[in-house]
Chain A
Amino acid sequence: MPADFLVLPLRARRALTICATVLGVAGGVPAQAEAEAPAARPVVEDPVLEARVLELSHKLRCLVCQNQSIAESHAPLAVDLRNQVREQFVAGRDENQIVDYLVARYGDFVLYEPPFKLTTLVLWLGPLLLLVAGAGWLAFRLRRRAAEAVTTLSEAEHARARALLEGGAPSSSEENRS
């Protein structure tokens, strides 16, 4: 089966389980994790750099957990890619160069915001098209309805309506049949 080939290493699987459990048993798992970690080292050495890494990481899709960015994912590949981003920032490359580096390897799929080009035209313009079409249809219907709405009642119909409103029995023979 092609869909289930992707074997996440244990650490990633555990991370996923934690993601899932935290939703249900908030508090339980983090508390345990705290107890297991005696002395946390400062993770961030350069906060400015780290902020840049994080900002860019949010725009890049993790290829393992495909609905997460590499900033959110705990998959080992996401960690590797974050390290790549950090290393390249340190090496003095700018955001566009790093994005190009990743796109060259993983394709546009790695971008959370797909580029505007021929193959993504429907993706970008589709919603707008639907909106315009919907608005057009609505306008058309409203106009038709406005044209149809002007109906005048005959004298007999007026009389019957008045009778109905006053609580009188309907006088039409059709009504009496039922």
Chain B
Amino acid sequence: MVEPQPHRVTLPNGLRVVLAPNAEPGSTEPGGPPVVGISVHYDVGFRSEPQGRTGFAHLFEHLMFQGSESLEKLAHFRHVQGSGGIFNGSTHQDYTDYFQVLPSNALERGLFLEADRMRAPRLTEENLRNQVDVVKEEIRLNVLNRPYGGFPWILLPPVLYSSFANAHNGYGDFTDLERATVDDCAAFFDTFYAPGNAVLTITGDIDVEHATELVDKHFGDVPARSVPERPSFTEPLLESEQRDKQQDPHAPLPAVALGYRLPDPVAELDSYLANVVLGEVLSDGDASRLQQRLVYRDSLVVDVQAGAGLMGAPLDARDPDTFTVTAVHSPEVSTDRVVEAIDSELDRLATEGPTSEELSRVTARWSAGLYRDHDRLISRTLDLGSTELLHGRAELVGELPGRVGAITTEDVASAAKALRPETRAVLEIEPTGDSDGGAA
């Protein structure tokens, strides 16, 4: 299956628009379920936060739901859900996204809601203080009160990276969050939330011409503002292996994360994709190398995962991006034994490469996984939007199965060879609580 080519429009104010209808133009087939997906990706993530304001990009994401010139606090939620839709937003290293999935008769309403907050969000002291509390609860839920909270995405970067942009905690320190002011919000909005710094994506049961008219109607008069020049976040590779250890009062078992630098996902895409394939060869499915060796043969670990992307998915950031291997293991097994076993599997792959059966297994499953993901309108919408933003070409989404299929044994061997101990970070989690996790 070849995905239909997405349509692309750029408004005079700089807003880039990607349209991907269910039905091919001229098709007489019904356009599938009467549902549309809408997303807006802004080109700013937690790597762009200034020092002393960790967690700000994510906090600001919360504030974008708190009302706008035309809509009171809470109105956004009520209008989306009261039209039968769902919504959310999320903050990544290099972008922040906002999305809705709605019955297709609510398309115009959904576009209005996104346009209104792009034009004039309501940034107030009361909402800021309220959302600081909500974000702190989110961090307690996902990090502070949970075993392995923030492992590895918050804990590994400070070992692998040295610049503030790459190394700091994207969820934020409570003291930084509490210091945030309404004026910080205004500056952040004016700097990063210009229409020229965003991509609007519309998918599903739409007619391209009609949808484009609605986009013009609602986004056309969002005033253009200057778009900041995006700094490079790249930094030199490590020259020797760096190690760190964190204590976790809630974790029942030790864990380890290895972090390696990846090729530039934009400039060296095919080398990057070889690492995506390597990750699957290492840990996807019972027949994969690390599952076989570490879980089933040597019984060293309870669980092991390897792959490209700090946040658990590949192609989600610009350079620098991280290849991670994580494992939860028995207290009787030392970290060094786990790391040695991983190294020896990487060495084997670097020397011999994967077998052709392994390669075809991985590429078939990976392409099928992409299809499956894209049957969910929300995933398709977000993927097209982030790919347009990061790579400038939403079409790449449809080309990926072909490009992944063209990765050779030698490509994967080279990728494995580049994961050298001297340029990696090793983070250990040491359990310090009760062995039963603390429940009396």
Same complex for A and B? Answer no
